[in-house]
């Protein structure tokens, strides 16, 4: 008898995240991007009043109408999700079922985009930047390649960077020509501290926009999000057929009651005037707090990459990349957790969220307690300085200011 061994697609490795890591509780968690400021009473009350005794409306009709009004779009385009992680998996599956076999990303990126594709046996193509990705889309469309699923995160996790409006204009053309469908991850738009959203409304309308306010609202334990499907009126031919088929697949792949009662309450409370004005205050506070945090770390010899959101990439200039895991482990023993971005495609950097003054003081103290030997690594690059240094030592300034 011939035994047939099925050839399963390789499963993707576990995605690494910040936040709880199975170790002892941390005093200060700089490793997730959640807003650390206390919630307004309206939000706390809305969650407390979520009706846990009944199923939510399986069609989420009122919620979809409400959110449709916020974004001036038809309620049918608004699809509740149990958070953007779920939405990433579901959109990738819908794309796969509709014949798309490649996922394109700019790298570094949030790990779930590639993991979702790999779990479904799809090829993943990493691009160094959005311009390279766009050029490749044009080149490959010319030789007859079918559409690919592109993921873009604006503003980007982990870099905190924002793409230019030009990139978005070009992308609009590529979508209209049927070269790609775009998952536009808006996870951090409500936490944008600097500049404006660069995505033109007409481009956003052609993307699958993923929203999940739990980070901005500092409630990442509430699993809730929403996807706004593209407006297909502006498309024609194959592009409109593809997007309609995807919208149908995306809706029918959702489990019943994908969003919990708390999730519904969170999405509704997000748009209360009180929540919105609290968020505006948070942005102003976080901008100031982030600058202080970065200045203090710069004085200790750390360098930073620019960021438009309250998290960003930093590293101590004196540490060689190979010494970074030990330094991170040392900080962890001092109750401080930072996020190593190696798994997101950026070795040699840490991602730090912005936390208030007591957390900054403890980070500073923990850094100053680092064994000196770690900072004397021979391969530390130019501009490196030996050992953790006190605030008064100003030998290395910010590589760039946020």
Ligand X SMILES: Cc1ncc(COP(=O)(O)O)c(C=O)c1O
CA 371 to chain centroid, in Å, comes to 33
| Contact between residue 49 and residue 199 where contact means Cβ atoms under 8 Å apart | no
Closer residue to ligand X, CB minimum distance, 83 or 388: 83
Residue 386, number of CB atoms within 10 A of its CB: 12
Residue 80 is a binding residue for ligand X (CB under 6 A): no
H helices present in 31-103, as ranges: 41-48, 61-71, 84-97
Nearer to ligand X, 16 or 136 (CB): 16
Among 170, 187, 217, 338, interactor with ligand X by CB under 6 A = 187
Minimum distance, C-beta of residue 89 to ligand X, in the bound complex (Å): 10
Q: C-beta of 67: minimal distance to ligand X in Å?
A: 15
84 scored as a contact of ligand X (CB under 6 A): yes
* Residue 34 C-beta: closest distance to ligand X, Å: 9
Measured CA to CA in angstroms, residue 161 lies from 112, 124, 130 at distances of 19, 22, 12
Interface residue with ligand X, options 12, 220, 268, 343 (CB under 6 A): 220
Q: Between 219 and 300, name the residue whose CB sits nearer to ligand X.
A: 219
Nearest Cα to Cα of residue 401 among 293, 304, 299, 296:
304
The piece of 80-88, 238-246, 275-283, 329-337 that touches ligand X (CB under 6 A) is 80-88
Selected binder of ligand X within 212, 293, 354, 360 (CB under 6 A): 212
Closest approach of Cβ 360 to ligand X, in Å?
Answer: 22
Interface segment toward ligand X; rule CB under 6 A; list 42-50, 69-77, 212-220, 347-355 = 212-220
* CA separation for the pair 227, 212 (Å, rounded): 9
Bridge partners, 313 (sequence order): 351
Q: Shortest Cβ distance from residue 173 to ligand X (Å)?
A: 25
C-beta atoms surrounding 141 within 10 Å: 17
Longest dimension (CA), the chain: 78
Among 31, 79, 162, 214, binds ligand X (CB under 6 A): 214
Of the pair 220, 260, the CB lying nearest ligand X is at 220
Query: Which residues ranging from 141 to 160 are in contact with ligand X (CB under 6 A)?
Result: 153, 157
Applying CB under 6 A, the span of 77-85, 240-248, 326-334, 354-362 interacting with ligand X comes to 77-85
Looking at the Cβ atoms of 158 and 388, the one nearer to ligand X is 158
Asked if 225 is part of the footprint of ligand X (rule: CB under 6 A), the reply reads yes
Question: Of the two residues 185 and 262, which places its CB atom closer to ligand X in the complex?
Answer: 185
Question: Please, how many CA atoms are within 13 Å of residue 296, restricted to the half-sphere of its CB?
Answer: 20
Whole-number Å distance between alpha carbons of 107 and 152: 10
Q: CB 81 → ligand X: shortest distance, Å?
A: 8
Least Å from the CB of residue 99 to ligand X: 25
Q: Based on CB atoms, which residue is closest to ligand X, 110 or 208?
A: 110
Q: Phi and psi dihedrals of 28, rounded to 5?
A: -135, 120
Determine the Cα–Cα distance for residues 92 and 303; give it in Å rounded to an integer: 36
Stretch that binds ligand X, among 79-87, 314-322, 350-358, 375-383 (CB under 6 A): 79-87
Cβ-based burial of 61 (10 A; exposed 0-12, middle 13-18, buried ≥19): exposed
What residues does 201 pair with on adjacent strands?
A: none
310 by Cβ neighbours in 10 Å (0-12 / 13-18 / 19+) ranks as: buried
Tell me, residue by residue from 25 to 54, as one string, x for binding to ligand X by CB under 6 A and - for no binding: --------x---------------------
Q: Euclidean distance between the first and final Cα of the chain, in Å? A: 66
Which lies closer to ligand X via its Cβ, residue 293 or residue 353?
353
Of 171, 191, 175, nearest to 309 (Cα)? 191
Which region among 81-89, 131-139, 262-270, 329-337 touches ligand X (by CB under 6 A)?
Answer: 81-89
Total chain residues near ligand X (CB under 6 A): 13
DSSP result, 291-313 = HHHHHHHHHTTEEE---SSSEEE
Residue of 185, 189, 205, 262 interacting with ligand X (CB under 6 A): 185
Q: Where on the chain is the footprint of ligand X (CB under 6 A)?
A: 33, 83-85, 110, 153, 157, 185, 187, 212, 214, 220, 225
């Amino acid at each position: 008898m011939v035994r047939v061994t099925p050839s399963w697609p390789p499963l993707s490795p576990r995605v690494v995240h910040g936040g709880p890591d199975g170790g002892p509780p941390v005093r200060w968690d700089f490793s997730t991007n959640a807003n650390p400021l206390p919630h307004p009473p309206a939000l706390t009350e809305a969650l407390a009043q979520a009706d846990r005794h009944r199923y939510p409306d399986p069609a989420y009709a009122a919620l979809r109408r409400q959110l449709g009004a916020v974004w001036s779009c038809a309620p049918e385009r608004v699809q509740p999700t149990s958070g953007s992680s779920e939405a990433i998996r579901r959109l990738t599956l819908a794309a796969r079922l509709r014949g798309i076999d490649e996922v394109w990303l700019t790298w570094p990126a949030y790990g779930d985009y590639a993991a979702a594709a790999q779990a479904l046996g799809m090829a993943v193509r990493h691009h160094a930047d959005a311009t390279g990705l766009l050029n490749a889309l044009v080149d490959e469309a010319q030789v007859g390649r079918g559409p690919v699923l592109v993921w873009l995160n604006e503003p980007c996790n982990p870099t905190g960077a924002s793409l230019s409006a030009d990139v978005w204009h070009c992308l609009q053309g590529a979508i209209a020509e049927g070269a790609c469908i775009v998952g536009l991850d808006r996870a951090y738009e409500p936490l944008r501290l600097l500049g404006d959203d660069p995505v033109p409304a007409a481009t956003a309308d052609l993307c699958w926009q993923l929203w999940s306010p739990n980070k901005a609202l500092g409630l990442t334990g509430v699993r809730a999000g929403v996807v706004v499907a593209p407006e297909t009126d502006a498309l024609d031919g194959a592009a409109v057929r593809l997007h309609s088929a995807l919208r149908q697949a995306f809706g029918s792949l959702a489990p019943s009651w994908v969003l919990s009662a708390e999730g519904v309450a969170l999405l509704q409370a997000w748009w209360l005037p009180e929540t919105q004005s609290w968020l505006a205050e948070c942005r102003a506070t976080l901008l100031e707090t982030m600058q202080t945090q970065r200045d203090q770390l710069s004085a200790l010899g750390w360098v930073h990459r620019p960021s438009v959101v309250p998290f960003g990439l930093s590293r101590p200039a004196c540490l060689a990349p190979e010494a970074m895991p030990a330094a991170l482990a040392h900080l962890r023993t001092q109750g401080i957790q930072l996020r190593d971005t190696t798994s997101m495609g950026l070795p040699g950097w840490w991602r730090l969220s912005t936390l208030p003054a007591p957390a900054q003081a403890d980070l500073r103290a923990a850094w100053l307690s680092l064994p000196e030997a770690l900072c004397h690594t021979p391969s530390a690059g130019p501009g490196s300085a030996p050992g953790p240094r006190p605030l008064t030592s100003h030998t290395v300034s910010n590589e760039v200011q946020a």
